[in-house]
Amino acid sequence: MKRMKFPALLAALFLLCVGTLLLSSCSEAEGEVITLYVYNWGEYISDGSEGTIDVNAEFEAYCREELGLNVKVNYSTFSSNESMYAKISSGSAAYDVIIPSDYMIQRMVAENLLQPLDLSLIPNYQYVDEAFKGENVYYEDDTDNVYSVPYFYGMVGVIYNTSIVHEDEENVGSWGLMWDEDYKGDILQFNNSRDAFGSALYYLGADGDGDFGVNDLSAESLPRWVEALDLLKEQKSVVQGYVMDEIFNKMKSGSAAVAAYYAGDYLSMYEDNDQLSFFYPQEGTNSYVDAMCVPAQAKNAELAMHYINFMCREDIAVANAEYTYYASPLTSVRANEDYQECMSEVHEDAMDILYGETAASVPTQAYMNLSPEGLSMLNELWEELKVESTIGDGIYIGCGVILVALAALGIWQMLKKRRWAKLYD
């Protein structure tokens, strides 16, 4: 190693000290990396693909520039409220922001799994439509506290492929299309208990105002749920599969002809396959709200509320609405002319499907949290549906054939023994 002369050594030490001070200053400015854990539905945020805004990256930039924080968003997705609930309630994973649906929010509030929000950190809450505030929030038990800020809302309808299902088909407009024998093997059903049973109950006439509804699991209403179970069992012979997110590829590619799903997803599919059409079933259907919440065990609750506020900022909310095609609860989004133009380019009736007369033309019910006994009963009904084999009749016939063959073999062996016995007598 070449030895430095003394003046050179002093200069090197000086530069080293200056460099260390600069690095220390830079590190202090950037601060410790804070990870914000966000748990959302799949395909439910503008992610930067195809020229869209990367909302999470924008939030990280906002934190650096406006809050002086070095934030990294750790973003993951779930496919059902039940799978999300299982993770949060078990404590197996810690998240700062979650986006459950209405009935699950109600359940999580009741079980103290969510914390009240500090609206002083969410000034953009002012843009939330009054229909989603205060006493109008049917899924929050304690209206003195606010546990959620609505993200998107909508209704369930039926999507069908017009190249397979004719427009003059008598079941178009009815839940009956989901049971139509003409499309056996081309029908997709929800892979979750609330929506699957909901489709059968609506088909049977559940309206919430009469003898029974989709939230009534009392002893008196049990016969109607058993009737719905029988209807779903009957449907199994025509169903291609029970699916959730997989419906996108199946309907877009034409590998299925009929599916119950959400209006926003229909518009996404239509953009890739204009042979798809959509209706809200005349018997009635589910209306829902998905909202942003902060779990009780969140490690970065204050930052989580900044994130919720950021998601309600007009440009960010418009970007998300244009990406997902779901109905926005924010008045600032619905009044945005660029948003309106974007949606009309996707489908000429998009605004009507999401917000207009078409959406208001059928009766709706929202799912509410069920009692522990009701949940247990629903789980038992769902388990019975899913466990029962769709080839049960074939199994019974096969078993019958085997039993007959075994009986015949036993009789033959008995006769054979008798014949040999006679020969030796």
Q: pLDDT tens digits, residue range 350-384?
A: 999 999 999 998 999 999 999 999 999 999 999 99
pLDDT by residue (tens digit) across 106-121? 999 999 999 999 999 9
Tell me if 203 is assigned to some domain. Answer: yes
Which pLDDT band holds residue 212 (cuts at 50, 70, 90)? confident
- Environment class of residue 395 by beta-carbon count within 10 Å: exposed (0-12), middle (13-18) or buried (19+)? exposed
Which pLDDT band holds residue 209 (cuts at 50, 70, 90)? low
pLDDT of residue 207: 74
Residues 63 and 138 in one domain: yes
Residues 163 and 142 in one domain: no
pLDDT by residue (tens digit) across 164-194? 998 788 999 999 999 999 999 999 999 999 9
Residue 288 tokens, joined: 């829902």
Do the Cβ atoms of 108 and 85 come closer than 8 Å?
Answer: yes
Whether pLDDT at 301 is above 80: yes
Residues 103 and 88 in one domain: yes
Whether pLDDT at 321 is above 50: yes
Whether pLDDT at 423 is above 70: no
Work out how many domains the chain is built from and give that number. Answer: 2
Tell me if 227 is assigned to some domain. Answer: yes
382 lies in which domain range?
154-287+374-387
Q: What is the pTM of this model?
A: 0.81
Q: Which residues contact 121 (CB under 8 A, 6 or more apart)?
A: 302, 305, 306, 309
Tell me if 188 is assigned to some domain. Answer: yes
Q: Domain of 86: which CATH number?
A: 3.40.190.10
pLDDT of residue 27: 36
Residue 32 tokens, joined: 């410790």
Q: Which residue has the higher pLDDT, 9 or 232?
A: 232
Tell me if 107 is assigned to some domain. Answer: yes
Q: Which residues contact 199 (CB under 8 A, 6 or more apart)?
A: 156, 175, 178, 189, 190, 260
Do the Cβ atoms of 186 and 257 come closer than 8 Å?
Answer: yes
Q: Tell me the helix, strand and coil percentages in the chain, rounded to 5.
A: 50, 15, 30
List the beta strands (DSSP E) in 24-95: 33-41, 70-78
Residues 35 and 143 in one domain: yes
Which pLDDT band holds residue 135 (cuts at 50, 70, 90)? confident
HSE-up of 128 (CA within 13 Å, CB side)?
26
Residue 181 tokens, joined: 């024998």
Residues 162 and 226 in one domain: yes
pLDDT by residue (tens digit) across 27-78? 334 579 999 999 999 999 999 998 999 999 999 999 999 999 999 999 999 9
Calpha distance 177→192 (Å, rounded): 19
